[in-house]
Structure formats: C-alpha cells, structure tokens
Structure 1
Amino acid sequence: MKNAVTLLAAACALAVAGGASAQSAGQFTAKIGAGKITPKVDSGDVSAPALPGSKVDVGADTQPLFIFAYGLTDNISAELALGVPYKHKLYGAGAIAGTGQIGTVEALPPSAFIQYRMFRPEAMLRPFVGVGVTYAYFQKETGSGQLTALLNTGGPATTFEIKSKVAPSLQAGLAFNINPKWFVDVCVVKTFLEIDTKFSTGQTQQIKLDPLAVVVAVGYKF
C-alpha cells in the first residue's frame, strides 16, 4: 500500500491548490483502485473425527477494484463495488498451527452501499459513511497435502466447499476533490461474515471472518 499512501499525499496537495468541485444529485462517478482485504478470523473447531482444537487462519490479499456511484441527492449516494476474485491462503491454527498452508480459496465480494456524504457538494474534502451488503461468493476451494494428512491420512485428497453468503457491511471514508472532474478517496469497509465449511471427509467447520477492507481509488465525475 506504499504507492497508495504516496498517491493520497499528492491528492491532498492538489486539493489544497485546486478549485472545489461537486459530487451532487444526479451525478455519476466511476472509480478504479485497489482494495486490501484482511480477514479478522475467529475460527471454530473442525468437527469430529479430527484433532480437538483444529482451527484455521486466513491470509490477506490485495486486488484491483471498480466502483460506480450515483448521487441520489447532494448528500446521499448509491455505490456498487466490483472487482476480480481475492486469493486467500488458509493456514492451520490452534492445535494444528504447525502444519502450515492447508488450502487456498478465491473470494469475490461485490458490495452495494447507500452513503451519506458530509458538507456541501462544493467542499474540497468530504467525509462519508455508508451502510450496505456484501455478497461473499467463494470458488476454487483447493486443499493441500497437509489438509489430507490431517483429515484423511492415507486416503484420497481432501477437498472442501465454502457456502456463499450475503453479509452486512459498514463503510467510512474521505474524498479529496482534485478538480471539477477528478477526485481521490480512501475508505475502510467492515463486513460481518461467518462462513460454513464442509469437507469431503464429512467434517464441518464454522469460521467468523469479519474481514476489514482498505480501499484507495481514483475517480472521475460524469
């Protein structure tokens, strides 16, 4: 995210020097940027038969994002965030913390928000908050040899499936207007997500992910 911080610093400098611009009623905006998703994992145990205390941890990933919004009023906007799948590595935790990587999964989390943008449309800096939903779609779940050794020693490769879910999300951020057409914003999104995992060997596991996303994007007003 080092480049993103540099970009934000440049945007702040331009915002101070440039003229104010509006993000107002009836206006469309499009943004392109990067999002880093970091799951805040609270893992349940793999069900029996498995070593008691068998848990999982999930790594972070960064991917490009495409975001579209429409101004319903001067202060209220509707926003849709789309992107490419995030690729997360799964690691053993708890009683199996020493086993290393036990699998990978791709997650595609399109999100929709209703935002409240503070201050007048002409303001150069506009904080905003949002509430919405995220559809967490999981695909390409792949188990490693370590997972097979844990759940099906000597048997065929262990596979697993994660059920996709809709989850509530909260958003907070700040927009920097550079000129009448261009702007930069940064935001954080907290999603409250608990998933159900089913293994080919019959065990199940519940995992509270509650991911935190940090998004930096450059936008254009139409």
Structure 2
Amino acid sequence: MKLRNIVLTMAIIQSINAAHAMGAGDTLVNLGWINMEPNEVSQPLLVTAMGHTNSIVGSGTSLRDANTGALTVSYFFTDHLAVEMVLGIPPTVHLDGTGSIAKIGELGKAKANVPTVESFYYFGTKDSALRPFLGVGVSYAKYTGIELTQHVADGEFLASSKTGTALVGPTIAHIDSNFFPIFTGGLLYQITPKWSARVSASYIPLRLDATLNTQAPVGTVTSEVKSSLNTLMTFFSVGYTF
C-alpha cells in the first residue's frame, strides 16, 4: 500500500512538472496585440529650392501611437535559447505637423511593415511555470501605401508671405526603408502543457526619413522630414506549443 502511494505521488509530481515543460525542439506560436508608442524627436523641415536649402523655423512632426495584431513563431534550440520571427498586420501610422506647421494638422499616413527576427534567452528551467526572458534582434522598417493629405499633396504647405505660391505644386512622398536593432524583455507563463500567456516590451530606435518632391513653377522643390522615433512596443499574446 505504501509503495502504491509513493508511486502515485511520484506520478502526480511528474504530471505537474510535465504541465510546464517547454524546451529544446519545441515550437511556440503566439497570437496577440501590439501597441507601438513613438517617443519622437524631430528636426525642423528642410526645404531645398533653386539650389538653396532652408529650414522652416520651429517646425516639427509627431507620429501617433499605433496598434495591430501580430503572429510570432519561436523555435527552442535549447531549453533556454530560442529564435523568434515576428509578423504583424501592418498598422496605419499617421504623421502630424507640430510647432510652426501645426496648423496643417495631419501630413499623411502610411502602412508600417516592421518584420523582426530576435534571439531570446529564457531564464529558469523548462519545467518552470513562470519564465522571464531577454532578447535582441533586428527589425526592417518599410512604409507602403503612402497617402498625403490634400494640403500636402497640393504643396500648399510651402506657401508663404515671402515666396507666395512659387514653391507650391503637386507633391509626392518617399519614406526610406532601414534596418534597426530591437531589444526585448518579458515574461512567459505556462498555463497548460500546450497553452501559455506572454507579455513583453521592446525598444526599437526607429527613424523616419521622408522626402517630399514638389513640382513647382520654379522647378522641383524638395522637403525633408527627419525624426528619431525611439519606439516602445508592448505585446500581449497567447501561445501554443507544438
């Protein structure tokens, strides 16, 4: 009888440990929601016309917060080391004028594609229910579907008492694509042998470098927007282990 109780107790302990096992060879798929919060530092708008470059004093830009759904796939090479790919639904980001160009309001919007690959280190053991983790990786930021507001698309933002409408005309925009590092910290909680919940915060030193080309009566006028976005991303998700 005692032997039977001991065996039963050991089986229960084993099942509890197995309920939290996640380690080498496992694939973890997470689905959740990302909030992107830029902490922007922008430079004054630079305007180049007829070979001369001037800044619009006191001007600046501000990128609004954005939210989107995201899917991540992680593969555990060991009980502690994993590599993860993040694929999200590209959120629509809105850029507003600030300072001396605040009266323009929204300048335009675009879809932000930011696929990411990261390496993670999970603390604790594969049997731990709660596992903190740290990660570092690389993101590629590409903006598509750029739409300018009417005042910007018509070049009216370049009208002034000094030049009148000499710099005004149809305007198109281009936003540079670039690679950026990403740094992440978070917690994973194993609910069942297959299901888990995870929360994380990531920092990406994103930049926004946009060029506006205006076909004006004096020729092509180039306006440059340069901003350091210093983006904080928070991610809440539910995961399933294969």
CA contact (8 A) 1:145 1:157 kept: no
Q: Percent identity?
A: 28
The aligned amino acid for 1:131 is V
Query: Given the alignment, which residue of 159, 173, 190 partners 1:160?
Result: 173
- Give the equivalent residue in structure 2 for 1:151: 158
* Equivalent pair of 1:33/1:65 in contact (CA under 8 Å): yes
Task: Give the corresponding residue for 1:191.
Answer: 204
d(CA) in 2 for partners of 1:176 and 1:211? 25
1:111 aligned partner, one-letter code = T
1 CA distance for matches of 2:34 and 2:23?
25
Q: Show the counterpart of 1:128.
A: 133
The answer to whether the Cα contact below 8 Å between 2:115 and 2:141 also exists between their aligned partners in 1 is: yes
Preserved contact between residue 50 and residue 151 of structure 1 (Cα < 8 Å): no
Asked if 1:138 is matched to 2:143, the reply is yes
Return the match for 1:75 from 80, 84, 92.
Answer: 80
Letter in 1 for 2:81: I
Counterpart-to-counterpart distance in 1, 2:232 and 2:42: 16
Point out the more displaced range, 190-199 or 57-66.
190-199
The 3-state SS of whatever aligns with 1:98 is helix
Residues 50, 146 of structure 1: alpha-carbon distance in 2 compared, 3 angstrom cutoff: farther
Aligned residue among 101, 108, 133 for 1:103 = 108
Cα RMSD (Å): 1.7
- 2: CA distance, partners of 1:53 / 1:112: 38
Q: Number of aligned residue pairs: give it.
A: 205
* C-alpha displacement of 1:50: 5.5
Contact 1:151 1:158 in 2 (8 A): no
Deviation at 1:53, TM superposition (A): 2.3
Q: Deviations over 1:6-58 (max 9, x none)?
A: xxxxxxxxxxxx87412201111111111111111111111135532221100
Q: CA deviation at 1:208?
A: 0.5
Deviation of 1:98 (Å): 3.0
Q: Deviations over 1:93-150 (max 9, x none)?
A: 1222232111111101001110010101111110101000010011112211232321
| Structure whose alpha-carbon radius of gyration is higher | 2
Normalising by structure 1, what TM-score? 0.87
- Counterpart AA for 1:175: L
Q: Distance in 1 between matches of 2:70 and 2:190?
A: 20
Cα displacement (A) at 1:86: 1.2
Instruction: Structure 1: state its 5+ residue gaps.
Output: 1-17
Task: Work out the CA distance in 2 between the residues paired with 1:40 and 1:60.
Answer: 9
Q: TM-score, normalised on structure 2?
A: 0.80
Distance 2:178 2:105 in 1: 27
| Contact 1:105/1:138, CA 8 A, preserved across alignment | yes
Conserved in 1, the CA contact under 8 Å of 2:26 and 2:241?
A: yes
Deviation string, structure 1 residues 161-190 (Cα, Å, up to 9, x no partner) = 110110000001100110000001010111
Residue identity matched to 1:93 = T
User: Which moved further from structure 2: 205-214 or 178-187?
Assistant: 205-214
Q: Is the 8 A contact 1:192 1:210 kept in 2?
A: yes
3-state SS, counterpart of residue 124 of structure 2: coil
With over 3 angstroms needed to count, the CA separation of the structure-2 counterparts of 1:143 and 1:151, relative to structure 1, is farther
